[in-house]
Amino acid sequence: MKKILGILVSVIILSIACYFTFVYYATYSEGVRSGHLIKFSHKGVAFKTWEGEISQGMSGSQIFAFSVLDKDKQVISNLKELEGQYVKVSYIERYKTFPWWGDTKYYLIAVKKENSPFQNK
């Protein structure tokens, strides 16, 4: 009975470790989006996370919400400088997230300023 219980506990612990390893390292997709950076803030009660939104349409009907990990200091700095401007962002999408990573499954890995296609020349 002790042997079966030991095996069962080992399988449960191994399963939990595999799940968290998968969630930590696996990405579902990666891509690029562009739009006006309308919001970027550091928010949260228990866990402070960096969250933002990009408007991808003229009326603001298409909003892309994203998070930024604390370790990406350059991305955070660039987003603070570019708020209110047209930007192009590279991101990864994860299957799941942890509460201390952010509210969304989309995490920015790079950002750069772009010329808006809506500007009159």
- How many angstroms separate the Cα of 32 from the Cα of each of 16, 29, 66, 92? 32, 10, 12, 9
Reported confidence tier of residue 31, pLDDT bands at 50, 70, 90: very high
What pLDDT was estimated at residue 86?
92
The CATH superfamily holding the domain 27-113 is Nucleic acid-binding proteins (2.40.50.140)
The pLDDT, as a whole number, for residue 116 is: 79
pLDDT in tens, 52-102: 999 987 666 789 999 999 999 999 999 999 998 999 999 999 988 888 888
Q: What pLDDT is stored for residue 60 in this prediction?
A: 64
Give the mean pLDDT of the chain: 90
Q: Which amino acid is at 8?
A: L
User: First vs last Cα of the chain: how many Å apart?
Assistant: 79
